[in-house]
Amino acid sequence: MASYTVTHEKAECLYEIYERKPELKHQTHYCPGCGHGIALKLLARAIDEAGIRDRTIMVSPVGCSVFLYYYFDVGNVQVSHGRAPAVGTGLSRSLPESIVISYQGDGDLAAIGTAEILHAANRGESMMVVFVNNGIYGMTGGQMAPTTPLGKKSTTTPFGRNEWTDGPPVRMSEILNALDAPVFIERVGLGDNKQIMQAGKAFRRALDIQVKRQGFSFLEVLSPCPTIWKLDPVDAQRFIREDMAKTFPIGNLRDRTKDALSRPAPKPAPPIAELPRILELTDDTPEEPVATPSKPLDLRLRIAGFGGQGVLMLGEVLAEAGLEAGYNVSWLPSYGPEMRSGTSNCHVRICSDPVDSPLVSNPSVLIAMNEPSLRKFLPSVEPGGMVIYNGETEPPEDCRRPDVRFITAHFTALADSLGSSKATNIVMLGALLEAEDLIEEKYVASALRGKVKSQRWLNIDFAAIERGREIACPV
Amino acid sequence: MTAKPDRGRVELDSQECKGCGLCVEACPPKVLHLSSHLNHYGYHPAAYDGAGCTSCGICFFVCPEPGAIVVLRLVAA
Amino acid sequence: MKAQLTKGNEAIVKAAVLAGARAYYGYPITPASEIAEAAALYFPQAGGVFLQAESEVGAVNMLYGAASAGVRCMSASSGPGISLMQEGLSYLAGAELPCVVADIMRGGPGLGNINPEQGDYNQLVKGGGHGNYKTLVLAPSSAQEMADLTAWAFDLADEFRNPVAVLADGYVGQMMEPVRFADPIPVAPPPDWAVTGTAESRKNLITSLFLLADEAERHVRHLESKYKEAERKYTRAECWRTDDAEIVLVGYGIVGRILKAAVELGRSRGMALGLLRPITLYPFPTVQVREVGKRVKAVVVVELSTGQLVDDVRLALNGSVPIELYSRVGGNVPSAEEVLGFIQRTFMQSREEALIHG
């Protein structure tokens, strides 16, 4: 009696019975003669041969690709239309030991998901992408695909795909081949025995790149869709060979497996105890007890000037100093185009009670670093409040208020004489500290040290505070 | 005296087969055919003629159903 | 840890890392960009992932991947970017994947402007994407709450396996206040449903696809039951001086802060005002609003949108109390004085003075 041994059978990484399928659990959902089943089988065989079933995660988006999780006994993530490479990115970045395979159709990858595939490829994500190109929208019933050949009829190109209205078919392999990062790009066909055997090799190769963690591999599969093409399965194969292959030439476009390096392993995570230091939440200075505010305070500041004059920085220094002095503080910038020059202003509150609103609509102190700022905010200053104004001359006639105390000086010229006009804001800060008994200077100095890292600048800033104090000091 | 056994043998699952005929077309020694009877799902399933298989495996690869075909090879005595 | 002067947007990132978040995917947009910038700085150092995605569509789907892997993950954007993320949020909710998304609201519709506004209330609180799902929404009004509610958002996301949004306006995102951060917590092992590329997780499937009507209904009812549970367990609001108030002001985010100042200012002028500040927007603090509504003569809703929050207040009060809306948009943020002005115009002129003076 002759004895036989099995040479070809269903791959181990495919379920024996498709329990996730609602019915007909022995069969795939693919139509007779569909190329998906063949592509899936070649992929399954490659996974078996590589011995990576447990590590594999299959990402299947919308279209006839969607039901891969019926068949593959691997980790499965079903995703939205076109976004599989983005989802694959999220998986592979967090799971560097896994093998991520995105399996997408032509509407998915070459139309709605072009941004996702292009950028995943460009980043060289550790991911294998199988692109099943059958030149038509199969699952939705035969609408034009981005890869439908010119002249071919579909339900949305009833007169044939027109170069002038629909554009020519999109060649994704060639587009991706313009990028630097991909390691492997090949187009195979399922048009006959020879093409299928060649495709099997390409599947193995594209997957091996993942096993070696070399980066991004892309395999385009020209696949028959006999039902929608309205061809019998044998003629559909011929259509691949004789028609599709003209628009989409079969062959390897890139194979850099010999030169490609393995992606470096991610750095080990630091111990949890290190996180506060990493997040800059620890303080090198010896722990001092939180200061008790020396007196009640309800300071509502508005600081305004041109972008680049240090408006926001001055506000931050004051808020930081207030915090160190034991007060409740808030700092609120008017953000936006100001960041790219223009006018800039911020609200600062330093008070004994908790800060209710961080918005300062009626400041008790206005620091106006130029005339437009004075003009804009002077009317809002509360009666009895103070204005520190940076002007070459006294404020114009229409920018004066008898019920507000003014300190006017050309602070920019003073700062300039100290070495940099950029210290204008700090000279004005000195004037404020002298004019009002607000916060002890040691807290301001400490806040400045925290913000200004260069000793040269610190020296200028401390000199600037002194200069400002002299200006505000009643003679 | 018995005939020399074939180099291979092929088993087709008639309940999984959708009768697309790709294996029949692809088989190099032409030893597969579509049955005249209908299977459970209403397809004419592919069937082995019963002799002449070389265990080349081509039918396995062209078949779109991952589990419909098993190919076996004669083990040398 | 001692309190540190921290920008609201940065507080979100630091709190996220401390809460065990290890993946950030996002796309820059004013006024949320500091979140991406801080994440780029801190996530990789903490052993996590930062990636600037090609779009918000890409970013939200990268969250889908990271969440599938069982990693605490987040993104941030502002109105226009959140619009792009809505497809993904629907998928995340459908597939029961946890993640946190911060929305630092700006002016709209369309390109609008980058000023603070609250026009994204409906697009997050009421869903925004397709299908029967909810996004849980938390509304911080200080830098401290940016940190605290972000940390809570990760817990809620895991508990309900659902996206959670931290909804703040440009002011709360941009302002600096002292923040006291929580101690770091270790990264939890992936949950048993995650797909992690291991033998143990091989049988797991993440999907939002349920072909059969019965199966789909079962799934949607299951989601619905989770939202009902969230409504029972987690509604939060800050009530400030509501016990003896005759008029209660309702507003969230930066508006809540202004209203607190308005309450104080109003009381100093003899007006019996109180504040109810919703902290959870979904689930909406209906119970708290009803409770306060029993005691007051009128409710004034103040929002930086043309009447989005007020709808939920109306639903909660169901006609039991007169409700007035004071709305500002475009980046105009009312001062406490302006709010009082509105109250005086509305109630002193058109209603009996007794309402104000008691």
Domains identified in chain A and CATH numbers: 35-255 (3.40.50.970), 291-472 (3.40.920.10)
Q: Taking the CA of residue A375 as centre, how many other CA atoms within 13 Å lie in the half-sphere pointing to its CB?
A: 7
Show residues of chain A in contact with C176, CB under 8 Å: 316, 319, 330-332
DSSP tally for chain B: helices H, then strands E? 2, 4
Tokens of B58: 């081509």
pLDDT of residue A342: 72
Checking ipTM against 0.90, whether it exceeds it is yes
Q: Does C358 have pLDDT greater than 50? A: no
Torsion of CA A195, A201, A202, A208, to 10 degrees: 170
pLDDT of residue A338: 46
Query: Which residue from B minimizes the CA distance to A224?
Result: B64
C186 to A272: CB separation less than 8 angstroms, yes or no: yes
Q: What is the pLDDT of residues C241-275, one digit of tens each?
A: 999 999 999 999 999 999 999 999 999 999 999 99
The answer, yes or no, to whether B and C have at least 3 beta-carbon pairs within 8 Å is no
Task: Compare CB distances from B67 to A2, A10, A33 and report the shortest one's residue.
Answer: A10
B contact chains, 3+ CB pairs < 8 A: A
C197 to A54: CB separation less than 8 angstroms, yes or no: yes
C57 to A86: CB separation less than 8 angstroms, yes or no: yes
Neighbours of A24 (CB within 10 A): 13
The verdict on domain C4-233 having CATH code 3.40.50.1820 is no
Cis preceding-peptide flag for C31 (omega within 30 of 0): yes
In degrees rounded to 5, what are phi and psi of residue A146? -60, -20
pLDDT in tens, chain A (475 residues): 689 999 999 999 999 999 999 988 989 999 999 999 999 999 999 999 999 999 999 999 999 999 999 999 999 999 999 999 999 999 999 999 999 999 999 999 999 999 999 999 999 999 999 999 999 999 999 999 999 999 999 999 999 999 999 999 999 999 999 999 999 999 999 999 999 999 999 999 999 999 999 999 999 999 999 999 999 999 999 999 999 999 999 999 999 999 999 988 888 999 999 999 999 998 655 556 667 777 899 999 999 999 889 999 999 999 999 999 999 999 999 865 545 557 899 999 999 999 999 999 999 999 999 999 999 999 999 999 999 999 999 999 999 999 999 999 999 999 999 999 999 999 999 999 999 888 999 999 999 999 999 999 999 999 999 999 999 886 5
pLDDT of residue C230: 98
Fill in the amino acid letter for A31.
C
3-class SS of residue A333: strand
| A26 close contact with B: CB closer than 8 A | yes
Q: Which residue has the tokens 């994704």?
A: A172
C260 to A316: CB separation less than 8 angstroms, yes or no: no
CB-CB contact of A142 with A154 (8 Å)? yes
Which of C134, C308, A31, A106 has its CA nearest to residue B18?
A31
3-class SS of residue C194: coil
Neighbours of C159 (CB within 10 A): 16
pLDDT of residue B8: 95
Which of A441, A435, A381 has its CA nearest to residue A408?
A435
Q: Which candidate in C72, C114, C177 is best for mutational testing of the A interface (most A CBs within 10 A)?
A: C177
Q: What is the pLDDT of residues A349-407, one digit of tens each?
A: 999 999 999 999 999 999 999 999 999 999 999 999 999 999 999 999 999 999 999 99
| B22 close contact with A: CB closer than 8 A | yes
pLDDT of residue A436: 87
State how far the Cα of C59 lies from the Cα of A85, in Å rounded to an integer.
Answer: 11
Q: Which candidate in C62, C86, C259 is best for mutational testing of the A interface (most A CBs within 10 A)?
A: C62
State how far the Cα of A193 lies from the Cα of A191, in Å rounded to an integer.
Answer: 7
For range C297-313, the mean pLDDT = 98
Mark A63-94 as b/e (b = at least 16 C-beta within 10 Å). bbbbbbbbbbbbbbbbbbbbbbbbbbbbbbbb
pLDDT of residue A336: 56
Residues with Cβ within 8 Å of residue C67, at least 6 apart in sequence: A90, C73, C92, C97, C98, C99
By residue count, chain C amounts to 358
CB-CB contact of C247 with C347 (8 Å)? yes
State how far the Cα of A223 lies from the Cα of A132, in Å rounded to an integer.
Answer: 6
The helix, strand and coil proportions of chain B, stated in percent and rounded to the nearest 5, come to 15, 20, 65
Give the rounded distance of the alpha carbon of A95 from its chain centre: 18
Tokens of B56: 């080349």
E strands along A40-82, which residues?
Answer: 56-60, 75-78
A38 to B60: CB separation less than 8 angstroms, yes or no: no
| B33 close contact with A: CB closer than 8 A | no
State how far the Cα of A139 lies from the Cα of C319, in Å rounded to an integer.
Answer: 50
Tokens of A168: 């020519």
State how far the Cα of C190 lies from the Cα of C205, in Å rounded to an integer.
Answer: 14
A90 to C187: CB separation less than 8 angstroms, yes or no: no
State how far the Cα of C72 lies from the Cα of C21, in Å rounded to an integer.
Answer: 4
Question: Domain map of chain C by residue range?
Answer: 4-233, 237-357
Q: Which residue has the tokens 């004019």?
A: A435
pLDDT of residue C270: 95
State how far the Cα of C350 lies from the Cα of A347, in Å rounded to an integer.
Answer: 35
Q: Over chain C, what is the mean pLDDT?
A: 96
Q: Does C143 have pLDDT greater than 50? A: yes
Domains of chain B, CATH where assigned: 8-73 (3.30.70.3270)
Would you tell me which CATH number, out of the four given (3.40.50.920, 1.10.3720.10, 3.30.360.10, 3.40.50.300), belongs to the domain C237-357?
3.40.50.920
Provide the pLDDT confidence category of residue B5 given band limits of 50, 70 and 90: confident
Give the rounded distance of the alpha carbon of C187 from its chain centre: 24
Tokens of C141: 């009004």
Fill in the amino acid letter for A293.
P
State how far the Cα of B11 lies from the Cα of B67, in Å rounded to an integer.
Answer: 10
Cis preceding-peptide flag for C109 (omega within 30 of 0): yes
Percentage, residues of chain C above pLDDT 70: 97
Which of A431, A430, A444, A439 has its CA nearest to residue A405?
A431
Fill in the amino acid letter for A65.
S
Q: Taking the CA of residue A434 as centre, how many other CA atoms within 13 Å lie in the half-sphere pointing to its CB?
A: 20
Q: Taking the CA of residue A361 as centre, how many other CA atoms within 13 Å lie in the half-sphere pointing to its CB?
A: 13
Topology agreement, domain C4-233 and domain C237-357:
yes
C115 to A359: CB separation less than 8 angstroms, yes or no: no
Task: Compare CB distances from B66 to A33, A40, A237 and report the shortest one's residue.
Answer: A40
The nearest CA of chain C is from the CA of A276 a distance in Å of 8
Which of C63, C68, C60, C61 has its CA nearest to residue C206?
C68
A27 to B65: CB separation less than 8 angstroms, yes or no: yes
Helices (H), A221-350: 226-229, 233-239, 245-247, 275-278, 311-324
pLDDT of residue A61: 93
Q: Does B64 have pLDDT greater than 90? A: yes
Contacts by A445-451 with C-beta closer than 8 Å and gap 24+? A446/A321, A446/A324, A447/A316, A447/A317, A447/A318, A447/A320, A447/A321, A447/A324, A448/A317, A450/A320, A451/A313, A451/A316, A451/A317, A451/A320
Which of B23, B19, B25 has its CA nearest to residue B71?
B23
For range C56-80, the mean pLDDT = 98
Q: Which residue has the tokens 């475009």?
A: C330
The nearest CA of chain A is from the CA of C113 a distance in Å of 9
Kindly give the pairing relationship between strand C73-77 and strand C23-26.
Answer: parallel
Percentage, residues of chain B above pLDDT 70: 95
C3 to A97: CB separation less than 8 angstroms, yes or no: no
Q: Exposure of B26 by Cβ count < 10 A (0-12 exposed, 13-18 middle, 19+ buried)?
A: buried
